[in-house]
Structure 1
Amino acid sequence: MVDPAHVHDGCTPDRHRDAVVAGLVALTATTTPTTPAEPQQQGTVRPVVSVTGVNLAAEVIERSQQVPVIVLIGAPLQSGMKELRSRLTSLAEGAGLRWILGILDPDKDPGAAVQFRPRQVPSAFAVAGGTTVAVFEPGLPGRDIADWVEEVVRSTGGRLRGLDEAGEAGEEDTHSVPAAFGREAQLRRAAEAVDSGDFAGAVAVYGEMLASAPGDPVLLRARAAVSVLVRVQRMDRTRDPVQAAVEDPGDVDKVLDAADALVMLDQPGEAVELLAARVGEPRVRERALELLALLDPADPVVAATRQRVASALYA
């Protein structure tokens, strides 16, 4: 059965770690390795860095508060890695520090790599504001890495502090400092709530933040993911929710439970597809739109689901 406190096999249960690894909460300083991060020196920001468990906090989590960090995960000898690394390195070196490329070898540092939970390697993860906001998996038709990076930079524009020309943290105006500090404090409150098992409390915090930043993709994703944890806590543990929905597809409650179970099994795309087939029902339609926040906007499932929702609304 699905256990909201532990969705991975073969490791000791740890609710906060599991939520982070599954992408259910934003990466924050509370999730950093116990080994101290490498010291950062002003004026030494480089467009391309090697990422390890030691410097993950400094080079990815903290740096992504300033500019997006694209983390390329893959071993040197893996198929496609050499070409992807060369292309991204060239793009990063010509980007004027609008974004940073971090290269992570999963063979050398599997502990750091597993925090991103890649479905395949090589893969590239876009991190902004301390959380993953998009994923690039080579091989998908119609996707170019340069266009994907530019989309990430555009979508995060105005939300990050930026770097000055010397490669140091850009100065924030007197109005943006309190706002940035408040956002960080609220994200930490939400992470602490998840850590203590107060999933409803975390959802409430994300709701407060969305009231002042409606449509923020990071917050929508976080709220959707933690809302799943709230509902799974109330789920009937005596049955397999996915099988129950298969046996009784006309029962809306069973379908909704099955979708949440699929998310907990790290299958959000399948969850949305299950709901998309029944968007004529208002509750299912609302849940499908909520769970879309868990998917990469470029995922074909997103466009297909939005089309089905629109058709259901205006039929």
Structure 2
Amino acid sequence: MQPGRSRRPAQPGAALGAAMAGAVDLAAIKARSDAAARAAEAPPPGAADLVVDVSEATFQADVVERSFQVPVLMCFWTARAPSSEQLLASLERLARADGGSWVFARVDVDTNMRIAQALQVQGVPAVYAVVGGQPLPGFEGALPDDRLREFVDAVVNAGKEAGLTGVPAAGADDAPADEPQPPEDPRFDAAEAALAEGDYALAQQRFQAILDVEPANAEAALALRQVALMARLADTAPDVTARADAAPDDVAAALGAADLAFAGGDADAALNRLLGTLTRTAGDEREQVRQRLLDYFELLGPDDARVPAARRQLARALF
């Protein structure tokens, strides 16, 4: 029987940090233990913290760790884009009006290009949200104030649904206090410790050891897939997407480009690329693509609306 445990669910698309080769870490599995712990101990954002200018050096604290308390909205901007100034002003006004239910992070792409590259930002200005360490694509360009308000409200609600400690949840005052929590599982602690040290092979070995004893342990199976994605991303060349676009029959490039898209939060692009590649492959290459699609299905989870449609497309392509 699996010991009782009190862990946040593993999150799909959690391997983005590996794409930054350690400079920016949005990997929810790798970051969740220490980042969430620091966020729990830190005070909620005050007036001085509602609007921050983010660099690679401050990204971990100002975006990743803070996002375990409240949602963080990042605006990628440049002085070369006239619409940036309008969007920055509108978001700052909303952030201050909302008084701490979310944090506004400004990222100047001219001086922080690697952050933009990790999130595959195509146009500027662009807005992304980060909730519990998970990047969520937003929009590019400026929006009218009413639509911007709707977007911000949707992100704040997502934070409430995720149970972020800095966002007052409806009925929170009526919730029972100090409920007993099941103990942590030391096997997972050991696997996550290896992951925190960047030893993907050891982390995979330790998650696999759990599955060898408990084949039905869904969390270990999901974590193993996530670590495998992180390990692949660590060896993925930054130009793999361009190579895959230029050579549609290059299966290795297609798999790498799909991983980058999936880790960046664009699961649709990842699925569509591999489903298209599947129709042009045979033998071992087709099996590689099929297995990668099955991994994505598991990472997204059965409740994701994209999975049933993609499974049907997979079945049609194979049979």
TM-score range, shorter chain: 0.5 to 0.7
Map 1:1-315; keep pairs closer than 5 Å: 17-18=20-21, 21=24, 28=31, 44-46=46-48, 48-53=50-55, 55-109=58-112, 116=119, 118-129=121-132, 131-139=133-141, 145-163=148-166, 173-175=177-179, 188-189=192-193, 191-192=195-196, 194-195=198-199, 197-198=201-202, 200-201=204-205, 211=218, 222=226, 225-226=229-230, 228=232, 246=249, 255=251, 257-263=252-258, 266-268=260-262, 271-277=270-276, 278=278, 284=289, 287-288=292-293, 290-291=295-296, 307-310=309-312
1:142-194 CA-partner distances (Å, limit 9, x unpaired):
xx5444444433334343442278xxxx9994348778999x96895363254
What runs of 5+ residues in structure 2 fail to find an aligned partner? 1-16, 36-41, 237-242, 280-285
Separation in structure 2 between the aligned mates of residue 50 and residue 65 of structure 1, nearest angstrom: 16
Aligned residue identity for 1:132 = Q
Separation in structure 1 between the aligned mates of residue 158 and residue 69 of structure 2, nearest angstrom: 14
Separation in structure 1 between the aligned mates of residue 125 and residue 307 of structure 2, nearest angstrom: 28
Separation in structure 2 between the aligned mates of residue 164 and residue 271 of structure 1, nearest angstrom: 32
1:239-281 CA-partner distances (Å, limit 9, x unpaired):
x99999727xxxxxxx5x45422246x45565422322348x8
The offset of 1:66, in angstroms, is 0.8
Are the counterparts in 2 of residues 67 and 98 from structure 1 also a CA contact under 8 Å? yes
Separation in structure 2 between the aligned mates of residue 108 and residue 260 of structure 1, nearest angstrom: 30
Number of corresponding residues: 261
Aligned residue identity for 1:59 = D
Separation in structure 2 between the aligned mates of residue 18 and residue 312 of structure 1, nearest angstrom: 32
The offset of 1:228, in angstroms, is 4.1
- In structure 2, do the counterparts of structure 1 residues 199 and 214 end up closer, same or farther at CA, with 3 Å as the change threshold? closer
1:119 is paired with a residue whose SS is coil
1:101-156 CA-partner distances (Å, limit 9, x unpaired):
11222335556666655333322222222x23212231599xx5444444433334
Runs of 4+ aligned residues of structure 1 deviating over 6 Å after TM superposition are: 29-32, 40-43, 176-182, 205-208, 240-245, 292-295, 302-305
2:140 is paired with a residue whose SS is coil
- In structure 2, do the counterparts of structure 1 residues 181 and 48 end up closer, same or farther at CA, with 3 Å as the change threshold? farther
Q: CA RMSD in A?
A: 5.5
Are the counterparts in 2 of residues 68 and 99 from structure 1 also a CA contact under 8 Å? yes
Are the counterparts in 1 of residues 24 and 59 from structure 2 also a CA contact under 8 Å? no
Separation in structure 2 between the aligned mates of residue 205 and residue 156 of structure 1, nearest angstrom: 34
2:274 is paired with a residue whose SS is helix
1:80 is paired with a residue whose SS is helix
Aligned residue identity for 2:257 = L
TM-score (norm 2): 0.55
RCO higher in 1 or 2 (8 Å CA, sep ≥ 6)? Answer: 2
2:230 is paired with a residue whose SS is helix
The offset of 1:310, in angstroms, is 3.5
Are the counterparts in 2 of residues 69 and 126 from structure 1 also a CA contact under 8 Å? yes
- In structure 2, do the counterparts of structure 1 residues 64 and 229 end up closer, same or farther at CA, with 3 Å as the change threshold? closer
Separation in structure 2 between the aligned mates of residue 243 and residue 42 of structure 1, nearest angstrom: 47
Are the counterparts in 2 of residues 68 and 100 from structure 1 also a CA contact under 8 Å? yes
- In structure 2, do the counterparts of structure 1 residues 244 and 125 end up closer, same or farther at CA, with 3 Å as the change threshold? closer
Are the counterparts in 2 of residues 224 and 294 from structure 1 also a CA contact under 8 Å? no
The offset of 1:67, in angstroms, is 1.0
1:137 is paired with a residue whose SS is strand
What runs of 5+ residues in structure 1 fail to find an aligned partner? 1-13, 33-39, 234-239, 248-254, 296-301
Are the counterparts in 2 of residues 24 and 222 from structure 1 also a CA contact under 8 Å? no
The offset of 1:224, in angstroms, is 6.8
Are the counterparts in 2 of residues 224 and 291 from structure 1 also a CA contact under 8 Å? no
